[in-house]
Structure 1
Amino acid sequence: MLEFRRQVMALKQFSGKFPFTVTDADGDKQSEVQLAGKIGFRLEQEDMYAVFSVPLLATDPVKYSLAQDLQTGLPTSGGGLAYNLFGSGGALEYGANGALGRVVVSNAGDARVWPTVTIAGELASGFFYQRLDTGEVIRYDRVVPAGTTVSVDHRTGEVLIDGASDGSTYLTRFDFFSAGPGESFDVQFNSIGASSGTPLMTLTIADGHY
């Protein structure tokens, strides 16, 4: 019991926000919380159980399911051909198909959520990506070298290069979009100018719940 008390009281070391996960019948849901008062702890010696209370504040009222990482490279053409075999329901396919360079974003929750998008180089003049159903675009006009990432947080508008340096000044279009309850849509990834290697877009999003 004393060791348990020590672990509970160790929460006092958290001066900022930290993730808090609750598991219910619908699975795990997570929020960013911070301590909002004094931690209470009482040990019932007779019955050998402990009662404790930890007041927490979540400035964002949304609870998030497990985040998904949706990934795609740039669009590529292919030399593939497909011939329908009428009557059989099948097809003959020759060669490899191209890639659209898109991801399908969905939110199965009942609260609006915002994605974070991370782009990995090499992109000689930058990139843009677009929510196709609304036409909203994020455009970044600056080289993204090999081994470098640029992340865009659609909720806060923060743009970070390699997770540290501010890159927001290089955004020339910033239609930050979100996913409403039950929405599903495509996001298209494109380069500005030349690219080499294997540039990658990773869109991270989680269902939101009230």
Structure 2
Amino acid sequence: MRWLLMVGVVFVTACSPQDAPPEEEEAGSTPPEPIVIIETLPDVRQVIPGSAVHAPEPGATLERLPAPVVAPPPPRPVNLGIVVVEEVNRLRTRRGMVTLAGTQRVAADAVCRLDDGRTPACEVLARTAMRRFVGRRSVSCTLGLREDAGDDHTAVCTAGDNDLSLWVVAQGWAFADGTASPELRAAETTARAEQRGLWASITAR
């Protein structure tokens, strides 16, 4: 019979001081008590970017705040291309009819007496002068983004560097209305004093 001899080998490694088990606490020592911080929350919800949002207490009544009022964007000049002068202060454009801001056209029954004795309607003379001035030039008007194409607008319009409201009043072909700016009113006063346009031959307004 053969006997099998088994030899066990035990490897012993040295322990570094860092790996040594922690020393047992001294008998009878008391561990330190934890520090408890109590935060008193405000009665209202704080919704501030970068800050914590405190949830309301269960059963609390929530108050819905009104949405902030957002002002509509200011009107901006819109290039309307070539327009049709329907009346001395009204233009037919691709965004609808546009009345020149601060202006009033001459009355339909007003007549003007010319040097040669003719008495045409003053509105015909005024419209003709305006059509010649605008011609085939591109016109821009201050229209809001939400204004529909079929609406009847009132706007400040320009042809090149010329404010059409100011031009038509300064030349005496239209009058300043109740909403006119001081500049338009001054232009009408000058046109009347210098007998320009309708002021030179109008016999009835």
Return the TM-score normalized by structure 2: 0.18
Is the strand fraction higher in 1 or 2?
1
